[in-house]
Chains A and B, each alone.
Chain A
Amino acid sequence: MIGKFALLMALMATVCATGFIHARMPPTTNADRGDAFVPDPAVASVLSLGFDAALADYYWLQAVQAIGGDTRITAELGVHLGKLIDVVTTLDPWVDHPYRFAAVWLTESEENVRQANRLLERGIAHHPNEWRNWFYLGFNQFYYLLENEQAAHSLEQASRLPKAPRYLPRLVARLRSQTADILVAETFLRELIRDTEEESARAEYQNALDEIEIEKKARFLDRAREAFIKLAGRDIMSVDELLAEPHPLLSALPSPEPESLPAALSRGSVWEIDPANERIVSSYYGARYELHFPSREHQRAEQWRAEREGRDSPPSGPGGLDDGES
């Protein structure tokens, strides 16, 4: 009897000790290692041994896991995701969503965007009737690469396909007329939000839309300021002067915070004049951009273009990449 009890205790002790040891082993997964091994697409396709569809799913799930939670999207992660989606779409080029997944997440460097565009082109080849791949390609060309002519071409292709939204021809016309501005970007972004099911991607687009919203308000205030100068013959000392006598140009200031921001998260931001360049800024973002539409992506885009055109040209515009990522 005692023998049986002792054996039972010994078993319990062993189980507990094993569990204790296991709890001390770091539960590292491939995704945690970040730069997880991704095979060359050609190699993966050769070694799939007929299980290419399932293997494509495997790498697709890795890609999904890699951006899960609050993972910060960096250019390095973008490269990693690009490799994964390249493998996925080499193994099974008829997958649909992964092409646009790449377009959403591969935005942190020009190399990322170019890779996303290559993948989108593969998607276009295998889904010739899918307007969204052309649309994302056009967006990337316009928004990140400032290649308006190519963007117009892509959107034109998209507009001819079934289910394409009706406003696309108007976008094409705007792009062609060289008046591309934040309104084009806004249209794009609203369409992307409508098209995207994934929460974190929608949030990204919403952030970009928020910036556009604030910039639109700031431009409105700029116009009020110009009117004030004409009337008063002097500049405003503070933004509030636009409301005050003797020249109450506005009855109220627009909210300096994005409308999508819940009241509980309000930072109590205000409109102020940036002492560095005398421009009206919302303290919510703390900066305006001199570019013709405000987005840190756009600054980067200008920078990438500058780098393309001549490696010795300085990055254009204040801020720049470091500022954008801070």
Chain B
Amino acid sequence: MKTSVTRIWIIAVNTVREAIRNKLLYTLLFFSVAIIGTAVLIASLSYVEGERIIQDIGLAAIRLFSVGIAIFVGIGLIHGEVDRRTIYTILSKPVSRAEFLLGKFLGLLLTVWLQVILMTVAFVIVTSATGSRIDSGHAAALFLTAMELMVIVALATLFSAFTTPLLAALFTLGVYTLGHLSRDMLALARQAEVEGVKVAATWLYRLLPDLESFNLTIQAVHGLTISPAEIWLPMLYAVGYAIALLFVASFIFQRRDLK
């Protein structure tokens, strides 16, 4: 077990090392920081509540770009290794496929989290320069963004474990979209007259990742009270959901022929 964790960690660290030398990542990072910076200009279009708009845009940019990085760097994750046959040499070492998959997942997650940290630094600089308030609410919002990313990276890992990058990107984007609609599914289930629709919508709500539960942007920006349960319940939910996805991903990946 210990050696298994060690191997997962070795692959994760290597994935981070490989990723942070990829220029694409810096391009995305540059754009995200640029957008956080231009939030000041955008906010100046409004004659009131400029500080709030800067924060809205900053937090949105962090989420948008980290999700983008997670999906577009993540989907090539497994497929790239198979395609370029780098996986052959790795699996010829005493590494199980599950360990490999978990290592890649962890490495990508750490990479994305690193990006979030860098973007957060830019966000803090811009927001404090404009003299607005940053408090624990923002920390909570960013923490839950990190949790949402855990689910998205797990999704990207799952899809890239068995399909092509393009399809994996579409699937991940699709689930991301539906995940943000899952609460609307519940609303639909409550309103639906037809029993079949009710059942289907309810199950969609239960199965899809409830990504809206990780969205505390508005609460943070307006300084609304955030209860502890609004943080630790989504955190446990994210961890559980990601573990379940990774189980399925390993199950599929272990049975796959790497041609």
Minimum CB distance partner of A95 in chain B: B49
Give the complex CA separation of A64 and B217 in angstroms.
23
What is the number of contacts between chain A and chain B, taking CB atoms within 8 Å?
62
**In contact, B212 and A57 (Cβ under 8 angstroms):** no
A162 at the A/B interface (Cβ < 8 Å)? no
- Given A46-B181, A46-B184, A94-B222, check contact A54 B60 (CB 8 Å): yes
- Given A51-B63, A51-B64, A57-B53, check contact A197 B176 (CB 8 Å): no
- Given A57-B57, A92-B218, A94-B218, check contact A50 B49 (CB 8 Å): no
B59 at the A/B interface (Cβ < 8 Å)? yes
Within 8 A of A (CB), among B150-177: 176-177
A102 at the A/B interface (Cβ < 8 Å)? no
The B interface is mostly helix, strand or loop, or mixed, namely helix
Minimum CB distance partner of A48 in chain B: B180
A60 at the A/B interface (Cβ < 8 Å)? yes
Within 8 A of A (CB), among B211-259: 211-212, 214-215, 217-218, 221-222, 224
Residues of B close to A64: CB separation below 8 A: 45-47
**In contact, B45 and A53 (Cβ under 8 angstroms):** no
Residues of B close to A46: CB separation below 8 A: 181, 184
Partner of A53, one of B56, B180, B211: B56
- Given A64-B45, A97-B48, A197-B47, check contact A50 B63 (CB 8 Å): yes
Give the complex CA separation of A148 and B217 in angstroms.
40
Residues of B close to A197: CB separation below 8 A: 47-48
Residues of A close to B221: CB separation below 8 A: 53
Minimum CB distance partner of B67 in chain A: A50
**In contact, A49 and B49 (Cβ under 8 angstroms):** no
Partner of A50, one of B53, B184, B212, B224: B212
In the assembled complex, the CB of B119 is this many whole angstroms from the nearest CB of chain A, namely 15
**In contact, A53 and B184 (Cβ under 8 angstroms):** no
Give the complex CA separation of A96 and B59 in angstroms.
19
- Given A49-B176, A49-B180, A94-B222, check contact A54 B57 (CB 8 Å): yes
A65 at the A/B interface (Cβ < 8 Å)? yes
Minimum CB distance partner of A52 in chain B: B218
- Given A46-B181, A94-B218, A94-B222, check contact A53 B60 (CB 8 Å): yes
Residues of A close to B215: CB separation below 8 A: 50, 52
Give the complex CA separation of A144 and B176 in angstroms.
47
Minimum CB distance partner of A201 in chain B: B47
Scoring A residues 48 to 92 as 1 if CB is less than 8 Å from chain B, else 0, what string do you get? 111111101100110011000000000000000000000000001
Residues of A close to B207: CB separation below 8 A: none
A198 at the A/B interface (Cβ < 8 Å)? yes
**In contact, A94 and B53 (Cβ under 8 angstroms):** no
Scoring B residues 51 to 81 as 1 if CB is less than 8 Å from chain A, else 0, what string do you get? 0110011011001100000000000000000
Give the complex CA separation of A57 and B46 in angstroms.
9
**In contact, A51 and B49 (Cβ under 8 angstroms):** no
Give the complex CA separation of A54 and B35 in angstroms.
12
In the assembled complex, the CB of B178 is this many whole angstroms from the nearest CB of chain A, namely 10
B117 at the A/B interface (Cβ < 8 Å)? no
**In contact, A61 and B63 (Cβ under 8 angstroms):** no
| Chain A interface residue number, banded | 20 to 34
- Given A50-B63, A53-B221, A57-B56, check contact A96 B181 (CB 8 Å): no
B42 at the A/B interface (Cβ < 8 Å)? yes
Residues of A close to B212: CB separation below 8 A: 50
Minimum CB distance partner of A198 in chain B: B47
Residues of B close to A51: CB separation below 8 A: 60, 63-64
Residues of B close to A49: CB separation below 8 A: 176-177, 180-181
Give the complex CA separation of A96 and B224 in angstroms.
13
Give the complex CA separation of A56 and B215 in angstroms.
15
In the assembled complex, the CB of A280 is this many whole angstroms from the nearest CB of chain B, namely 40
Scoring B residues 189 to 218 as 1 if CB is less than 8 Å from chain A, else 0, what string do you get? 000000000000000000000011011011
Scoring A residues 149 to 191 as 1 if CB is less than 8 Å from chain B, else 0, what string do you get? 0000000000000000000000000000000000000000000
Give the complex CA separation of A317 and B62 in angstroms.
59
In the assembled complex, the CB of A273 is this many whole angstroms from the nearest CB of chain B, namely 44
Give the complex CA separation of A46 and B184 in angstroms.
7
Partner of B56, one of A54, A65, A198: A54
**In contact, A53 and B46 (Cβ under 8 angstroms):** no
Minimum CB distance partner of B45 in chain A: A61
Give the complex CA separation of A96 and B53 in angstroms.
12
Partner of B224, one of A61, A65, A94: A94
**In contact, A65 and B218 (Cβ under 8 angstroms):** no
Partner of A96, one of B49, B56, B176, B218: B49
| 12 A-B pairs in the complex with CB atoms less than 8 angstroms apart | A46-B181, A50-B214, A50-B217, A51-B60, A52-B217, A54-B56, A54-B60, A54-B217, A57-B53, A61-B42, A94-B224, A96-B49
Residues of A close to B52: CB separation below 8 A: 57, 95
Give the complex CA separation of A56 and B211 in angstroms.
19
Minimum CB distance partner of A56 in chain B: B56
